[in-house]
Amino acid sequence: MLLDGRKLLITGVLTEGSIAFAVARRAHEEGAEIVLTGFGRGLPITQRIAKRLADPPPDVLELDVNVPEQLAAVAHDLEQRWGKLDGVLHAIAFAPGDALGGDFLATPPESAQVAFTTSAYSMKGLAAALLPLLEKGDHPSIVGLDFDATVAWPAYDWMGVAKAALESVNRYLARDLGARGVRSNLVSAGPIKTIAAGSIPGFEILAQAWDSQAPLAWDTKDAGPVADACLFLMSGLARGVTGEIVHADGGYHALGAPLAPRAADDADHALSGDRADV
C-alpha cells in the first residue's frame, strides 16, 4: 500500500465533504496510521466524524494553530505516541467575513492580518513545532491545501492574498527544511463544496467556471482527486519533490480562456479519421 506504516497528522477534518476528510480516509485505506486535530466548537464535530473513518476511530487532538501552547502540546503527544512523524496535512484557512465578498478595498487591516496568520503563517508554525519529529520520519512531508493564487478571483479577496502568502511560505519552508530531509509542497485544488467554500460569497459562480474551462470533468462534490494528489506528496514516491505546487483542478489552470463549446466533439471527430499526419 502507498502509505503502509506511515504516521500522519491530518488537520482540518470537519465534515465528510471536506478535503481533509477525503485525505484521512484515503490515507487510512492506504495503510497509514493517522491522528486528527480539531479546534474550538468544531472539536466535538471532528470527534464524531472520526468514527466514520475507522473502527476504532483515530484520535483527535485539540489544536488552534494560532496558540503556541497547543502546537507544543500536539508535538508532545505525538512524541510520546510515535516518537516520529512521516507527514502532516495543513488544511487550515480562515478569513473574517469582511475580508471576503467583493469589497476588497474596504477590508480593515486587522481582518487581513487574521486571514494571513491563520491561512499562511500557520503552515510555518505547524512545521516548526513538529520539525523534531519530522526529522525522524521516513521521507517526511508537509502538504498544504492551496487555491491558485496567481490570479485574482471574484469575491475571494483577502483569502486570495493569504493563499499567495501560503505559496511563498511553502517555498521558504522547502528552502529551510530541505537540508533536514523534510519536504514541503502544496496541492492547488479545484473548487470543492465544503463548509469553508460555502462561506465564500459567489462560490457557485466561481465553481461554474470549471464547467467550461477545465479540460477534465470536475465534480465539486468529489474531493477524491485532490486527496490522492496529497497522498502522492506524502508518500515516498515523491521523495524528490519539494517547493512544488501540484494542481489537482482538472487542468483549469493550464488554459487561458474557456474551451470552445464543441472543442471536445471536434477533437473526437479528428481522431476518428482514416489517417493522421504526425
Catalytic machinery residues: 156, 163
Residue 86, CA distances (Å) to 8, 33, 198 in order = 6, 10, 32
Rounded Cα distance, 14 and 206, in Å: 23
Residue 262 neighbours by CB distance under 10 Å: 10
Mapped to the 3 state alphabet, what secondary structure does 165-179 carry? HHHHHHHHHHHHHHH
Name the CA dihedral angle for 16, 17, 18, 24, rounded to a multiple of 10 degrees. Answer: 40
Which phi and psi (to 5°) does residue 116 adopt?
Answer: -65, -45
Taking every pair of Cα atoms in the chain, the longest distance, rounded to a whole number of angstroms, is 69
Rounded Cα distance, 264 and 256, in Å: 17
Rounded Cα distance, 143 and 90, in Å: 6
Name, in order, each residue with C-beta under 8 angstroms of 237's C-beta and a sequence gap of 6 or more.
2
2: helix, strand or coil: coil
- 46 HSE (CA, 13 A, CB side): 23
